């Protein structure tokens, strides 16, 4: 199955499960509260207190209004003390909120994102490659922001609204059970409107997330491909595609905003109508002396209706937003579902040889890239792999890096079958150098050490062995490399990659067309640095058939159509005057 087909199948699977949450969602939600329970508890206390404040405001308004009308039970001094105490309590509550709530959100999101990136980096390279990197970028940026705003914060808002509704309803019943029943009957309209319209919010949220994925992926491609776009004069075509993707994203956001506005508008209009209706009924009850109710109670009752209607209007919308955000967590969990804990055999001893017996590998039934390869690679020796494009050279390198699991035949590192070896153990022994050397936007030193602590003497040693002395003398170890090494030449980046391998003390160095983009002189210098390395098994894929370099390899491996068809030293292969001889003479 091709990578494209795999990606399509994964996306199809994700779409089929969009209405069903991934079983790991609960575990990810727990991460928000892991070692964060005390601050979460204090934050919840704050929101509970805030819900009580609303009810208290209505009660204070009632006693003030009744005092104004001459029917109050409290003196002005008592009312003043109540108001001052109330203001002090509010100040303390907001001070606690300022301290606890942001701290909870910060730690919760840090723990969540840390878990996601750990899961992401546990995925095998082949599994990771099934999705566009823009998808992962969207999950770690746009989706995380929506999860914080529409799920994490809404947990507290939900509790606050529910308690506000309950406490307001309790005080309303205390004031007048009859008026409360009338108010609830009138409020059936806003309740029905909210419930009927809020269900669409989760769907709209999911649509925006998917559009964001595509938009982020395209934006990344455009920024990475500026040189190609300009050289092919494809600016207008790219602009048109970017415009269409942007329009799709903004259209889905527009639909989401319309849905949310509709829910809010229906809730507001129906709530206002309900409040006015309750006030009119209350005014009639005061004038008709129905029950023991004062004008102050009617005012408080009307205010309390906000505490009932506002949650009734917002809770369905809130639940819809939380459901939509939870789907984003589920989507992330689905992408990370094949991230498994590293397990397998550990290679404790030094690598003596790598033996391939009857090894074949196919992406799919019609695309066999390796065919019955038999090969023994000895520790400390150097091997060049040559052959035309599509010969299987890079596939062999990828196989030895453990990227392919379902190969036929056997691959042994000493006595360990490759497919059973722990990836961590394999990568302790092996380093891969490719044409494009990844560089962090950090110092030369950080890019050599990859932020790990090493002794200065050891770093200086690998700098010398990798031929970086001149670069360090001119720019220093703290020189900033720029985005993906934009401040360095191709040869300098390749030498940094060599230094990484030496510092890591890899026993196997796999080089896949690492010098193909370099000029002849730089390529020869980098190749010579690799050949000069001692005590390392070097397997180098090269398209440059330079006699001076090829003569230094212990063995040259010639591949064609996935098969290893010739092997030997440069002189031996030239004397045979077979396929390698033809390749070499044509390249001259």
How far is residue 527's CA from residue 467's CA, in Å, rounded to a whole number? 11
* Residue 194 in this model has a pLDDT that exceeds 70: no
Provide the CA 496 distance to its chain's centre, in angstroms.
Answer: 28
> What is the model's pLDDT at position 291?
65
Q: Which residue reads 């390899």 in tokens?
A: 553
Instruction: Report, as an integer, the average pLDDT of 404-409.
Output: 88
Of residues 279, 412, 302, 373, the one with CA closest to residue 564: 373
Instruction: List all residues 6 or more positions away from 188 whose beta carbon is below 8 Å from its beta carbon.
Output: none
3-state secondary structure at position 389: coil
* Residue 45 in this model has a pLDDT that exceeds 90: yes
> What is the model's pLDDT at position 555?
96
Give the helix/strand (H/E) hosting 406.
Answer: none
Instruction: Kindly report the pTM of this predicted structure.
Output: 0.67
3-state secondary structure at position 361: strand
CB 384 within 8 A of CB 550: yes
* Residue 486 in this model has a pLDDT that exceeds 90: no
> What is the model's pLDDT at position 14?
44
* Residue 467 in this model has a pLDDT that exceeds 80: yes
Give 255-306 pLDDT, tens digit per residue: 888 887 877 777 677 777 777 777 788 778 777 777 667 777 777 887 888 8
CB 52 within 8 A of CB 294: no
How far is residue 328's CA from residue 552's CA, in Å, rounded to a whole number? 55
Instruction: Report, as an integer, the average pLDDT of 135-157.
Output: 88
Most confident of 115-129, 177-191, 502-516: 502-516
How far is residue 302's CA from residue 282's CA, in Å, rounded to a whole number? 9
> What is the model's pLDDT at position 193?
66
Of residues 37, 101, 112, 331, the one with CA closest to residue 207: 331
Instruction: List all residues 6 or more positions away from 499 whose beta carbon is below 8 Å from its beta carbon.
Output: 448, 462, 463, 465, 466, 468
* Residue 12 in this model has a pLDDT that exceeds 50: no
What is the band of 9 on the pLDDT scale with cuts at 50, 70, 90?
A: very low
What is the band of 10 on the pLDDT scale with cuts at 50, 70, 90?
A: very low
Instruction: Report, as an integer, the average pLDDT of 550-565.
Output: 95
> What is the model's pLDDT at position 228?
62
* Residue 566 in this model has a pLDDT that exceeds 90: yes
How far is residue 120's CA from residue 337's CA, in Å, rounded to a whole number? 10
Instruction: List all residues 6 or more positions away from 129 whose beta carbon is below 8 Å from its beta carbon.
Output: 3
The β-bridge partners of 555 are 383
* Residue 477 in this model has a pLDDT that exceeds 90: yes
CB 487 within 8 A of CB 481: yes
Instruction: List all residues 6 or more positions away from 12 whose beta carbon is below 8 Å from its beta carbon.
Output: none
Neighbouring C-beta atoms of residue 473, cutoff 10 Å: 8
The β-bridge partners of 354 are 377, 413
* Residue 8 in this model has a pLDDT that exceeds 50: no
Of residues 336, 347, 333, 466, the one with CA closest to residue 402: 347
DSSP state of 148: I
Instruction: Report, as an integer, the average pLDDT of 479-504.
Output: 85
CB 157 within 8 A of CB 317: no
> What is the model's pLDDT at position 353?
94
Report which of residues 276 and 477 the model is more confident about: 477
Alpha carbon separation from 583 to 78, 549, 558 (Å, rounded): 102, 16, 10
Instruction: Report, as an integer, the average pLDDT of 499-512.
Output: 86
Of residues 323, 326, 276, 309, the one with CA closest to residue 193: 309
Give 67-96 pLDDT, tens digit per residue: 877 776 788 889 899 889 989 999 999 999
Alpha helices in 69-152 (DSSP H): 76-122, 125-128, 133-140, 142-147
How far is residue 439's CA from residue 265's CA, in Å, rounded to a whole number? 51
Give 303-361 pLDDT, tens digit per residue: 888 888 778 777 877 888 888 888 888 888 888 876 666 678 898 889 999 999 999 99
> What is the model's pLDDT at position 227?
61
Percent of the chain with pLDDT over 70: 91
Q: What is the DSSP string of 568-579?
A: E-HHHHHHHTSH
- Mean pLDDT over the full length of the chain: 84
How far is residue 588's CA from residue 584's CA, in Å, rounded to a whole number? 6
> What is the model's pLDDT at position 69?
73
* Residue 5 in this model has a pLDDT that exceeds 60: no
Which long-range contacts (C-beta less than 8 Å, at least 24 apart) are formed by 480-484?
480/441, 480/442, 480/443, 481/439, 481/440, 481/441, 481/442, 481/443, 481/444, 481/447, 482/439, 482/441, 483/441, 484/438, 484/439, 484/441
Q: Which residue reads 């970028």 in tokens?
A: 137
* Residue 474 in this model has a pLDDT that exceeds 90: yes
Report which of residues 357 and 442 the model is more confident about: 357
The burial class, CB within 10 Å (0-12 / 13-18 / 19+), for 288 is: exposed
What is the band of 444 on the pLDDT scale with cuts at 50, 70, 90?
A: very high
DSSP state of 345: B
How far is residue 136's CA from residue 128's CA, in Å, rounded to a whole number? 9
* Residue 30 in this model has a pLDDT that exceeds 50: yes
Instruction: List all residues 6 or more positions away from 498 whose beta carbon is below 8 Å from its beta carbon.
Output: 433, 465, 466, 467, 526, 529, 530, 533
Of residues 392, 342, 347, the one with CA closest to residue 371: 392
The β-bridge partners of 563 are 560
Report which of residues 408 and 58 the model is more confident about: 408
Pairing of strands 508-512, 430-434: parallel
Give the helix/strand (H/E) hosting 380.
Answer: none
| Structure-block tokens of residue 162 | 């529910």
The β-bridge partners of 385 are 541, 557
CB 24 within 8 A of CB 337: yes
Percent of the chain with pLDDT over 90: 31
Domains of the chain are 23-335 (1.20.1560.10), 353-587 (3.40.50.300)
């Amino acid at each position: 199955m091709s990578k494209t087909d795999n990606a399509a199948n994964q996306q199809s699977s994700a779409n089929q499960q969009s209405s069903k949450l991934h079983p790991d969602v609960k575990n990810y939600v727990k991460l928000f509260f892991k070692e964060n329970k005390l601050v979460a508890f204090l934050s919840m206390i704050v929101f509970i207190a805030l819900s009580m404040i609303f009810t208290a405001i209505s009660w204070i308004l009632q006693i003030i209004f009744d005092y104004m009308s001459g029917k109050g039970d409290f003196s002005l001094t008592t009312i003043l003390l109540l108001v001052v105490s109330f203001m002090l309590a509010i100040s303390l509550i907001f001070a606690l909120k300022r301290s606890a709530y942001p701290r909870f959100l910060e730690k919760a999101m840090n723990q969540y994102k840390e878990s996601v990136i750990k899961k992401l980096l546990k995925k095998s390279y082949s599994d990771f490659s099934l999705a566009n990197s823009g998808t992962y970028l969207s999950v770690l940026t746009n989706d995380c922001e929506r999860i914080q705003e529409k799920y994490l914060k809404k947990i507290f808002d939900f509790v606050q609204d529910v308690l506000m509704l309950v406490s307001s309803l309790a005080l309303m019943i205390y004031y007048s059970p009859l008026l409360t029943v009338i108010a609830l009957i009138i409020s059936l309209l806003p309740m029905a409107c909210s419930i009927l319209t809020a269900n669409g919010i989760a769907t709209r949220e999911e649509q925006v997330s998917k559009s964001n994925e595509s938009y982020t992926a395209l934006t990344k491609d455009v920024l990475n491909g500026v040189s190609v776009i300009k050289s092919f004069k494809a600016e207008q075509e790219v602009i048109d595609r970017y415009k269409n993707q942007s329009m799709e994203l903004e259209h889905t956001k527009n639909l989401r905003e319309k849905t949310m506005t509709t829910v809010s508008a229906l809730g507001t209009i129906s709530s206002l109508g309900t409040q006015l209706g309750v006030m009119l009924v209350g005014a009639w009850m005061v004038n008709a002396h129905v029950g023991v109710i004062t004008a102050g109670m009617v005012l408080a009752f009307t205010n309390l209706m906000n505490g009932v209607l506002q949650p009734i209007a917002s809770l369905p919308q809130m639940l819809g937003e939380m459901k939509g955000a939870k789907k984003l967590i589920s989507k992330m969990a689905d992408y990370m579902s094949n991230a498994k804990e590293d397990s397998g055999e550990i290679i404790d001893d030094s690598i003596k040889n790598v033996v391939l017996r009857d090894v074949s590998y196919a992406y799919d039934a019609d695309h066999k890239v390796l065919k019955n390869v038999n090969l023994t690679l000895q520790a400390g020796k150097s091997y060049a792999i040559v052959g035309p494009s599509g010969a299987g050279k890079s596939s062999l390198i990828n196989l030895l890096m453990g990227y392919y699991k379902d190969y036929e035949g056997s691959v042994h590192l000493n006595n360990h079958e490759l497919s059973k070896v722990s990836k961590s153990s394999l990568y302790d022994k092996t380093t891969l150098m490719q044409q494009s050397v990844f560089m962090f936007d950090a110092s030369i030193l950080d890019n050599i050490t990859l932020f790990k602590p090493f002794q200065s003497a050891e770093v200086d040693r690998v700098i010398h062995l990798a031929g970086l002395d001149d670069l360090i003398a001119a720019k220093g170890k703290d020189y900033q490399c720029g985005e993906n090494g934009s401040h360095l030449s191709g040869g300098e980046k390749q030498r940094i990659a060599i230094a990484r391998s030496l510092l890591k003390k890899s026993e196997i160095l796999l080089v896949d067309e690492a010098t193909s983009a370099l000029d002849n002189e730089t390529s020869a210098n980098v190749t010579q640095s690799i050949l000069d390395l001692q005590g390392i098994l070097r397997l180098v894929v090269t398209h440059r058939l330079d006699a001076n370099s090829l003569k230094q390899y212990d063995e040259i491996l010639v591949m064609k159509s996935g098969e290893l068809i010739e092997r030997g030293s440069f002189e031996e292969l030239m004397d045979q005057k077979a396929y390698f001889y033809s390749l070499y003479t044509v390249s001259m």
